[in-house]
A and B are shown apart, each in its own frame.
Chain A
């Protein structure tokens, strides 16, 4: 997304070219930016490795059943995604549903969505 409107002069030397000295030094803002990026990468790595952020994948956004028998939704999920092999399903946080008045579906003898906890996360 580079807006390259200003064109450098024939030497490639423009107002954004700061280095006039004989030794090179990395600009301060680049160092700060690099540190911020490094911290964010570390945080993301920690969150992923420790599982603090929950499971990663599309299944995290779908409600789960108890897996004992087929439900309409799980059938759909399995039909469409089981072959992909990496779906982990868990329900949305109950607080969100409660806050917005959503209720989990008690479908076909399965555990109601609202009754499934984080411990109910299952591999499809």
Chain B
């Protein structure tokens, strides 16, 4: 199934917007997470934990799912395919991995927001947001981004077999013409 040029451009626009937006949202998340470790203002810390929860639920997760979905659509809707090229396959696997990890973080982040909402000032200043996952996630997203910009050469075994079969089919046609 191949998309029409107009549909392909629309899907590509949504895909790029969501993917780059995902990276930007993670950076914003990281900035806020650092604040929970540096601020000495309990109200700021409380607000930040609530904001982290909101960013995760209403920005990060939608962007991640949109990026993953449009990536799948773009792959399946063009002749690049989903499993033919390593530069498509590896980012797909990494995107699924990052999305799954993000979804597993929903509950802990929500829990911390709930704790921060009710904790007193002394407790708030002892709360710290997680940095490991957002830093790791950011690195994974940057790897994906770089891989998609450079598109390093390389067919998967499936893509190679597919290419060989197409050549085998095409050769008799070329000979006939």
Binding site for B on A (CB under 8 A): 1-8, 11-13, 15-19, 24, 26-27, 29-30, 33, 53, 57-58, 60-63, 72-73, 76-77, 80-81, 84, 87, 91-92, 96-97, 100-107, 113
Digitize B121-133: 1 where CB-to-A-CB distance is under 8 Å, 0 elsewhere. Answer: 1110111111010
Assess whether B62 is interfacial by the CB under 8 Å rule.
no
Residue contact A63 to B127, C-beta cutoff 8 Å: yes
Interface size on B, residues (CB 8 A): 65
Residue contact A76 to B114, C-beta cutoff 8 Å: yes
- Contact partner of A29 (CB less than 8 A), chosen from B84, B95, B152, B167, is B152
Q: Given the complex of chains A and B, what is the CA–CA distance between A92 and B78 in angstroms?
A: 49
In the complex, chain B residues whose CB is within 8 Å of the CB of A29? 152, 154
14 contacts between A and B (CB under 8 A): A1-B19, A2-B75, A4-B74, A7-B78, A7-B79, A11-B163, A13-B166, A19-B160, A24-B160, A61-B128, A62-B127, A73-B120, A81-B111, A104-B126
Residue contact A2 to B128, C-beta cutoff 8 Å: no
- Contact partner of B123 (CB less than 8 A), chosen from A8, A72, A96, is A72
Residue contact A4 to B78, C-beta cutoff 8 Å: yes
In the complex, chain A residues whose CB is within 8 Å of the CB of B109? 58
Q: Given A1-B71, A2-B91, A72-B119, does the pair A101, B149 have CB atoms closer than 8 Å?
A: no
- Contact partner of A4 (CB less than 8 A), chosen from B12, B127, B162, is B12
Residue contact B127 to A1, C-beta cutoff 8 Å: no
| Dominant secondary structure of chain B at its interface with chain A | helix
Residue contact A61 to B129, C-beta cutoff 8 Å: yes
Residue contact A1 to B111, C-beta cutoff 8 Å: no
Residue contact A3 to B148, C-beta cutoff 8 Å: yes
Q: Given the complex of chains A and B, what is the CA–CA distance between A10 and B1 in angstroms?
A: 13
- Contact partner of B108 (CB less than 8 A), chosen from A17, A19, A58, is A58
- CB of B146 to closest CB in A, whole Å: 10
- Contact partner of B86 (CB less than 8 A), chosen from A27, A63, A106, is A27
In the complex, chain B residues whose CB is within 8 Å of the CB of A5? 12
Q: Given the complex of chains A and B, what is the CA–CA distance between A2 and B88 in angstroms?
A: 6
Residue contact B125 to A62, C-beta cutoff 8 Å: no
In the complex, chain B residues whose CB is within 8 Å of the CB of A84? 107, 111
In the complex, chain B residues whose CB is within 8 Å of the CB of A2? 15, 71, 74-75, 80, 87-88, 91-92, 148
Q: Given A63-B127, A80-B115, A104-B126, does the pair A19, B67 have CB atoms closer than 8 Å?
A: no
